[in-house]
Amino acid sequence: MLDDALGYYKRGLSIIPVRQDKKPMLPWEKYQRERAPEDQIREWWKKWPSANIGLVTGSVSGICVIDVDKPEVGIPELMKIIPDEPMPTVGTPRGGQHFYFQAPTAALGNNAGTIPGCDFRGQGGYVVAPPSVNGNGATYHWLVDLDHAPLRPLPEPYIQRVKNGSSLNDHGYSASSREHSIINTLNIEECRHNDDSAICTFAQGRRDEDLFHVANCLVKGGMPASECLKVLELLAKSCNPPFPEKELFAKIESAIQRVARRDRSLAEEIREWVVSSNGVFSSSDIDVCRQVSSREERKNISKILSRLCEEGLIERYGNRNGCFRRIDTECEDIDFLHASTECLHILWPFTIERYFRTLPKNIIVLAGQSDSGKTAFLLNFVRRNMHEHQIYYFSSEMGPVEFRDRLSKFSLPLSDWRFTLKERSSNFADVIKPDAVNVIDFLELHDDFYRVGGAIKDIFDRLHKGIAVIAIQKNAGSDYGLGGARSLEKARLYLSMEPGKVKIVKAKNWACSINPNRQECEFKIVNGCEFHTETDWHKEGAARG
């Protein structure tokens, strides 16, 4: 982790060590204004070798981050006000995303929830950076790293939305205003002048009971003990006669213990119910099961479910309030010591195998502009590999006659083709063959393009020893398919095609010492099926060979 922290430091970012619960391991206000020197960073990680990496946002680092913790809500909202173009993006352990931008010249503070499903980390904030790990062993990981996309200015429409919203830094607690509000609500002065002490609140004979009732209400409402004490001190002075202040803390302590006993019993019951559940459930399911009728108990159940979310036992699900999913932490061990080091013998159009090693369970994404040659690429891929691998081709557009016409353009007799052709247009994860070569032509999405990442992940989860080659549509001028960087996460090889040119946007398993990322070559399609290359592979923008 130290090497990664130093890598961020060399990029000019302010670094702090953080725990797995995302809390800083030391007072960090100083590092909002100045960067810790390299020797200090080395000393931190010598002291805490397993510390995670925190990147301080704002002017000190020159970055700000949009934190999308609810992608199903946040991504559609964000896409309305930020451009759909490559930007440094991190995938978080809970399935969220961090989008990195240049910090605005005018300092912009942190913000939570102004845009649904999204938080903003700016001046006075920080984010956890890859390859940090949470308490469940899940990692923060780059979907698009800082080397493969520029830091873009924070869009002005987003700045205006944040400025018009409420900042985290604007919600400072004013104890005196809360205390006096409570006192006014209790009408102490009115009681003080009431001659009938038998019915007067906070009068002699009722002070113990009334103060305990207030303490119990404040504790149940979530007020910290120190603040409860301030409120009770004011009430004690206003009692008739004044109540001894030295006895107040016993009332608070008793209230805390009472609430804790009740909450502990309810929390244990809810936890057992959740553990025994499968899949998705709602808080109303618990209400029905326990025959809950009071508003207070429903509120307590909601708090308990929130705590279980923080523990990582469950997570919020979908767009409905009160809907949850139990997190399944059971997973198979990966036997890396006895894993085969051999890659799959896969041949690619344009001899991409010179640069990329295809391994079991790899996802390969082909993002292509309309009429750029996606299907020709996939059929050439099939032709090169059908005698060595079992190939399943899932077609969403072509019927048998059209497919026959496409194959007849090749010099190969129709009877010599060896693959299984299937018609399919959705839910590909349900039909792919885990140990075979799967070709998907193509993964269709007509709206909610951000869902492409989830669809590809579902396919990845189904793979075992096989691979999936997935074609998706892209717009002219963009390297990424519809859905933007969301389509990039699971791909080990990501290709972008437009008429006459193919580019390697991302390649993780290098076949040689040459970095294949951002390499491209130009070609012509002859007879609708044959690729004739016009240049060798070369770096984007470099001289052509």
- Residue-wise pLDDT tens digits, 134-190: 877 888 999 888 888 889 898 888 888 777 654 333 333 333 444 444 444 454 444
How far CA 100 is from CA of 57, 65, 265, 343, in Å, comes to: 10, 5, 44, 34
Kindly state the helix (H) or strand (E) to which residue 280 belongs, with its residue range. strand 280-282
pLDDT for the residue numbered 197: 37
pLDDT for the residue numbered 168: 33
Q: Which of 154-168, 423-437, 510-524 has the lowest mean pLDDT?
A: 154-168
pLDDT in tens, 84-130: 788 899 988 888 889 999 998 888 888 776 778 888 898 888 999 99
pLDDT for the residue numbered 276: 66
pLDDT for the residue numbered 366: 96
**Residue 406 confidence (pLDDT) above 50:** yes
pLDDT for the residue numbered 403: 93
Cα(234)–Cα(243) distance, integer angstroms: 10
pLDDT for the residue numbered 171: 33
Confidence of residue 543 (pLDDT cuts 50, 70, 90): low
Mean pLDDT score across all residues of the chain = 82
pLDDT in tens, 269-295: 788 777 766 678 888 877 766 666 667
pLDDT for the residue numbered 176: 43
Fold of 278-330: Arc Repressor Mutant, subunit A (1.10.10)
Q: Give DSSP secondary structure letters for 121-162.
A: E-BT-EEEETT-B-TTS-B-EEEE-TTSS--EEPPHHHHHHH
Q: What are phi and psi of 538, to 5 degrees?
A: -150, 155
pLDDT for the residue numbered 78: 83
Residue carrying structure tokens 């004044």: 242
Check residues 228 and 62 and name the one with the higher pLDDT.
Answer: 62
* Strand, coil or helix: 448: coil
Residue carrying structure tokens 């909202």: 77
Fold of 2-170: 3.30.720
Residue carrying structure tokens 């936890």: 271
**Residue 192 confidence (pLDDT) above 60:** no
pLDDT in tens, 343-392: 899 999 999 999 999 999 999 999 999 899 999 999 999 999 999 999 99
pLDDT for the residue numbered 502: 97
Angle at 201 between CA 195 and CA 206, to 5 degrees: 100
How far CA 360 is from CA of 72, 213, 268, 440, in Å, comes to: 30, 64, 43, 17
**Residue 32 confidence (pLDDT) above 60:** yes
Decide: 497 and 369 in contact? Cβ < 8 Å. Answer: yes
Give the number of other Cβ atoms within 10 Å of residue 175's Cβ: 12
Residue carrying structure tokens 């997570």: 315
Query: Residue ranges of the domains in the chain?
Result: 2-170, 175-257, 278-330, 349-539
Decide: 452 and 365 in contact? Cβ < 8 Å. Answer: no
Q: Give the best-scoring range by mean pLDDT among 41-50, 208-217, 333-342.
A: 41-50
Mean pLDDT of 401-425: 94
pLDDT for the residue numbered 288: 67
The string over 201-216, giving b where at least 16 C-beta atoms fall within 10 Å of a residue's C-beta and e elsewhere, is bbbeebbeebbbebbb
* Strand, coil or helix: 173: coil
pLDDT for the residue numbered 79: 80
Domain 349-539 sits in CATH 3.40.50.300: yes
**Residue 449 confidence (pLDDT) above 80:** no
Q: Hey, what are 101's tokens?
A: 């931008």
pTM of structure: 0.47
pLDDT for the residue numbered 30: 87
pLDDT for the residue numbered 358: 96
